[in-house]
Structure 1
Amino acid sequence: MTLLEAIILGLVQGITEFLPISSSAHLILVQSMFNMTFEGLSFEILLHLASVLAVILYYRKDIYEIIRGFFAFFTNRTPQNRSMFMFAVYLIVATGITGIAGILFEDYIGETFRAPIFIALALAITGLFLIIIERFVKLGNRTEKEMTIWDSIFVGLGQCLALIPGLSRSGTTLIVGMFAGLSKETAVRFSFLLSIPVILGSSVLAIRDLTSGELLEQTTVTALGLSFLVTFVASWIGIVFFINLVRKSKLVYFAVYCFVVAILVFIFRDSLGTTDI
């Protein structure tokens, strides 16, 4: 992997991780176009860790309040502490559902749905639901104080769909959350905070790949460090960009992008082939 390729992959991962356009699909497509192959999951893990670091720093105050309120609730059951305690419980429930699904189905889904035709279809479906939620569904206004355990279950189940390349994790969780009646701000906040345990959990499950040393046999420390840094910066930009567009009801822009990429992938499917990340 050259330094230019490291920058490109970092930009792709960082920008697409928190936009409803599927980072896994874009990584697969970019690696296919550049004919790059990385054995195991170590490179993908590294990039995801850079993305989750950006989320943690961006939401550091929220994370502190949730953790503080969660433990404070055991000794001081104020409405505020209860709200933070339950919000943490909802994150745990949604994470657990996704984790179980990942353990049971990720290998099968990864092998079955990585073909360009499936990626194109998944991107088109993502675009369709973005338009539906933006134009044809009456949005709710429930905040985290009004969330229920069912909201976390629905969002967790929705996030399971993101195991399929082309179905965005941020997109599915946002769409399901808004369908459930959560306000845009609450759905976005829950989606982003949910990415932290999900990404960290999947990284821990695949830590053997990251520490095996095989990745350094395929590229250099400089390239990996550069890719990590670019991913972190691009992820931060992606978070800010997405939050601003959601507030302005501009999800349709992402829908159009998904349709365009889906059409291009379908047209050039034979030349793309598949590539292992």
Structure 2
Amino acid sequence: MSILEAILFGIVQGLTEFLPISSTAHIVITQLILGTPFPGLAFEIYLHIASILAVVIYFRKDLLAVIVGFFRYFKTKSAENRVHFLFALYIIVATFITGGLGILLKDYIGDNMKSPTFISVTLVVTGLGLVFIERFHRYGNRTEKEMTFLDSIIVGLAQTLSVLPGISRSGATLIAALVIGLNRETAVRYSFLLVIPVILGSTVLAVGDVSRDIFAAIGTPALVVSFITTFVFSWLGIIWLIDFLKRSKLIYFAIYCFVVAILVFLFIDPTTVIDI
């Protein structure tokens, strides 16, 4: 892999991992445009770890508060510690639902679901979900203090849909969190913190499938450059999305999904199947 290709894959992965527009769909589109196949599981793991690192550093105070509050609750059952304790459990519950169902559904994700036609359809589905939440649903005002285990179950089920190429993980969790009445700030925070155990879990499960030959094929310079690029653009994506949602609406992401879906449907050979 060339340095330029490594940079481009890193930019695409970093920006689209947290925006509600499906990183998988954009990686597939990038492959088709560049004519370069995605270099396999090892490369995907590297990029995901870079994205996780950006989330951990950006939300370090929130993450530390949740972790410390979770363990302190066993000793001091204060109201503040209880909120952090339950919020941690909500993350765990949603993660187990997503991980368990993801493992069960993995064998059913066939090559036909990795085709341009399928991806264009799922991008439209993501866009419709964003339209619904902006135009036909009133925003709630519940914070993490008012969350329940049912909320975590619903968000976990929604997150499971992201195993389908073209369904945005962040989009699915944001839409579900907003539908159940969480306010924007809580929904965004919950969505971002959920990505940490989900990606770490999938990474751990996939480590055994990583071959040294893949690393050799990609090259150390390309791995380093892509990791740094993904981290930087993941960080920028987090900052931009949080700032964007404070002053604008998710409907613009819906429009973007519709436009990309149309372009993919019209200009990419529908028989093309991408292995990712």
User: Gaps (5+ residues) in structure 1?
Assistant: none
Shift of 1:107: 3.6
Q: Distance in 2 between matches of 1:143 and 1:195?
A: 19
Q: Distance in 2 between matches of 1:272 and 1:65?
A: 49
Q: How do residues 6-45 of structure 1 correspond to structure 2 at under 5 angstroms?
A: 6-38=6-38, 40-45=40-45
In structure 2, the residue matched to 1:161 is 161
| Residues 124 and 262, structure 1, Cα contact 8 Å, conserved in 2 | yes
Whether 2:260 is the aligned partner of 1:261: answer yes
1:239-260, Cα deviation, whole Å (9 max, x unpaired): 0111111122321111111010
Whether 2:163 is the aligned partner of 1:170: answer no
1:91-137, Cα deviation, whole Å (9 max, x unpaired): 00000000001111124225341111110011111111111101221
1:135-173, Cα deviation, whole Å (9 max, x unpaired): 221110000010000000000000000111111000000
User: Gaps (5+ residues) in structure 2?
Assistant: none
Q: Distance in 1 between matches of 2:114 and 2:215?
A: 25
Give the TM-score, by structure 2 length: 0.97
| Residues 124 and 258, structure 1, Cα contact 8 Å, conserved in 2 | yes
Q: Distance in 1 between matches of 2:229 and 2:192?
A: 19
Question: 95-104 vs 127-136, which deviates more?
Answer: 127-136
Q: Distance in 1 between matches of 2:101 and 2:267?
A: 31
- Pair 1:23–1:256, CA change in 2 (3 A): same
Give the TM-score, by structure 1 length: 0.96
Shift of 1:272: 7.8
| Residues 73 and 85, structure 1, Cα contact 8 Å, conserved in 2 | yes
Identity of matched residues, %: 56
In structure 2, the residue matched to 1:134 is 134
What value does the CA root-mean-square deviation take over the aligned residues?
A: 1.3
| Residues 29 and 272, structure 1, Cα contact 8 Å, conserved in 2 | no
Shift of 1:37: 2.6
Q: Distance in 2 between matches of 1:9 and 1:272?
A: 23
Aligned partner of 2:137: which letter?
Answer: V
Shift of 1:201: 0.4
Runs of 4+, deviation exceeding 4 Å: none
Whether 2:137 is the aligned partner of 1:106: answer no
Q: Number of aligned pairs?
A: 276
Q: Distance in 1 between matches of 2:126 and 2:247?
A: 19
In structure 2, the residue matched to 1:119 is 119
| Residues 10 and 226, structure 2, Cα contact 8 Å, conserved in 1 | yes
1:178-231, Cα deviation, whole Å (9 max, x unpaired): 000100110100000000000000000001234x21222322100111000000
Whether 2:207 is the aligned partner of 1:207: answer yes
Q: Distance in 1 between matches of 2:271 and 2:241?
A: 28
Q: Distance in 1 between matches of 2:232 and 2:34?
A: 23
| Residues 110 and 165, structure 1, Cα contact 8 Å, conserved in 2 | no
